[in-house]
Amino acid sequence: MHALTFSRFGGPEVLEWTALPDPQPAPGVAVVRTHAIGLNFADVYRRQGRYHLAGMPPWIAGYEGAGEIVALTTDDSAQPTPRFRVGQRVAFADSAFANAEQVAVPLDKLIALPDDIDFDTAAALLLQGLTAQFLLEDSHAVQAGETLLVHAAGGGVGQLLVQLARGKDARVIALASSDAKRHAALAAGATDAVDAGAGWQERVRALVPAGADVVYDSVGRTLGDSLALARTGGTVVFYGMAAGDPDPVDPRVLMDRSLTLVGGDLWNVLTSADARQQRADRLFAAIRSGGLAVAIAARVPLREGARAHALLEGRGSAGKVLLIP
């Protein structure tokens, strides 16, 4: 098989199309032939050397994909009521080495796909949709009538977060860096869309003079501004660093204005196979009912992954970037 790999840290140019041995099934581990792979900022961070990596170089990034099971051990396939079978359509949101034509995935991390959810939708939805779901329910339980300020609202997580927040009857102020992304955020249900360019803080303050109830910050470098734009007693949920690590936060800032700063990490709630499937099934139901839609910004051949990374890193995509083996 082939995989998109890197053996040194740097820009998209360090990515290589590499022939590697096919992965093999093991007890509790299936081999999945990928049909669509989700690209995420975490993959950019790994390529840059800013995020945890599994294994030794050449490294294979990626944690999210969809495809079909092509191999199981005899013991796993011969159980009286096997959870999975060869040929079954599946997806995963938190299994390493996804940027490859074949991936060895623990059975507990596989999510069974309903017949009406295609591979592209699953690969575009799961990691970012589960993240948005977690941010709105676990990091902060959003209530009807609350005002949310969402950074990068035209991106993959952003658009899903806006849609799910509007489903909870929250007001959403979307920050986005381009006209296309602002239009995407408004189409997703944002009440207002604000240019994230210079002076964005004043534009947001004009809309919410007392501050937002909750600020969702995935940019990192903007964390200080996010704290300043939360209302007294409000909450900032920090869950990404697309523009770089944030500056340290003085705890006095939190104390003086009774602010809550929460870190959001999906892996803290995806603790079992049942949790993965149940949370994913809720997203599938929302897709099915029309309450949630996935925006796919680009489908890029996996062997051209450097182009996909440049597109995502340049923040020029309004929606999900998929890698297609």
Q: What percentage of the chain's residues is helix, strand, coil (to nearest 5)?
A: 35, 25, 40
CA atoms of 99 and 71, how far apart (whole Å): 18
Q: Quick one: pLDDT band at residue 74, thresholds 50, 70, 90?
A: confident
| Structural domains of the chain, ranges and CATH numbers in brackets | 2-125+270-324 (3.90.180.10), 144-263 (3.40.50.720)
Q: In the block, which residue shows the tokens 């381009």?
A: 178
Distances (CA, A) of 215 to 142, 144, 197, 310: 11, 15, 17, 27
Q: How many Cα atoms sit within 13 Å of 132 on the Cβ side?
A: 28
303 vs 79, residue with greater confidence: 303
pLDDT single digits (tens) 28-68: 999 999 999 999 888 998 999 988 887 889 999 999 999 99
Is the confidence at residue 81, as pLDDT, over 90? no
271 vs 304, residue with greater confidence: 304
Taking every pair of Cα atoms in the chain, the longest distance, rounded to a whole number of angstroms, is 64
pLDDT single digits (tens) 112-171: 999 999 999 999 999 999 999 999 999 999 999 999 999 999 888 899 999 999 999 999
pLDDT single digits (tens) 193-237: 999 999 999 999 999 999 999 999 999 899 999 999 999 999 999
CA atoms of 253 and 258, how far apart (whole Å): 8
What does residue 286 show for φ and ψ, rounded to 5 degrees? Answer: -70, -40
The per-residue pLDDT for 163 is 96
**What is the DSSP annotation of 159-199?**
HHHHHHHHHTT-EEEEEESSHHHHHHHHHTT-SEEEE-STT
Q: Quick one: pLDDT band at residue 109, thresholds 50, 70, 90?
A: very high
Strands 230-238 and 260-263, sheet pairing: parallel
Q: Exposed, middle or buried: residue 21 (CB in 10 Å: 0-12, 13-18, 19+)?
A: exposed
Whether the CB-CB separation of 37 and 65 falls below 8 Å is answered with yes
State yes or no: cis peptide before 12, omega within 30 of 0.
no
Is the confidence at residue 306, as pLDDT, over 70? yes
Percent over 70 (pLDDT), the chain = 98
Residue 226's contacts (CB-CB under 8 Å, 6 or more residues apart) are 149, 151, 215, 217, 236, 238
Strands 296-301 and 320-324, sheet pairing: parallel
CA atoms of 229 and 281, how far apart (whole Å): 35
Q: Quick one: pLDDT band at residue 314, thresholds 50, 70, 90?
A: confident
Q: Quick one: pLDDT band at residue 76, thresholds 50, 70, 90?
A: confident
CA atoms of 34 and 158, how far apart (whole Å): 25
CA atoms of 264 and 220, how far apart (whole Å): 13
The token pair at 185 is 């955020």
The per-residue pLDDT for 241 is 80
The per-residue pLDDT for 156 is 84
Is the confidence at residue 316, as pLDDT, over 80? no
The token pair at 215 is 């600020």
Q: In the block, which residue shows the tokens 């509007």?
A: 166
Calculate the average pLDDT of the chain: 93
The per-residue pLDDT for 270 is 87
